[in-house]
């Protein structure tokens, strides 16, 4: 396995991806705000909007679509 393969997380489906986002969000949600954290948060939120939500819609599992939208709203 190359360093790039170790570095980037590859979810198996939208549910797996949402769990990872939730885990990452929980790591920083109570930290003091700074520019770097805000930029990271916006990037993570954009990943949910542009990658995870469309994947959930493509999987045609309504509960996952609802969960992805809920994550976006919560973030």
Q: Domain residues of the chain, as ranges?
A: 31-75
Reference 51, options 26, 74, 17, 6; nearest CA is 17
What DSSP designation does 41 have? H
- For residue 27, the model assigns a pLDDT of 93
- For residue 16, the model assigns a pLDDT of 97
CA atoms within 13 A on the CB side of 4: 0
Give the distance from CA 28 to its chain's centroid: 13
Structure tokens of 51?
A: 């990658």
Alpha-carbon span 28 to 32, nearest angstrom: 9
- For residue 5, the model assigns a pLDDT of 59
Structure tokens of 63?
A: 């509960």
- For residue 2, the model assigns a pLDDT of 59
- For residue 7, the model assigns a pLDDT of 74
- For residue 59, the model assigns a pLDDT of 98
Name the stretches of the chain with pLDDT < 50.
Answer: none
């Amino acid at each position: 396995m190359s360093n790039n393969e170790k570095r980037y997380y590859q979810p198996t489906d939208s549910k797996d991806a949402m769990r990872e986002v939730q885990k990452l969000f929980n790591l920083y949600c109570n930290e003091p705000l700074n520019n770097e954290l805000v930029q990271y948060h916006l990037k993570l939120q954009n990943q949910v909007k542009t990658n995870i939500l469309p994947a959930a819609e493509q999987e045609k599992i309504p509960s996952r679509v609802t969960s992805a939208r809920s994550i976006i709203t919560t973030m």
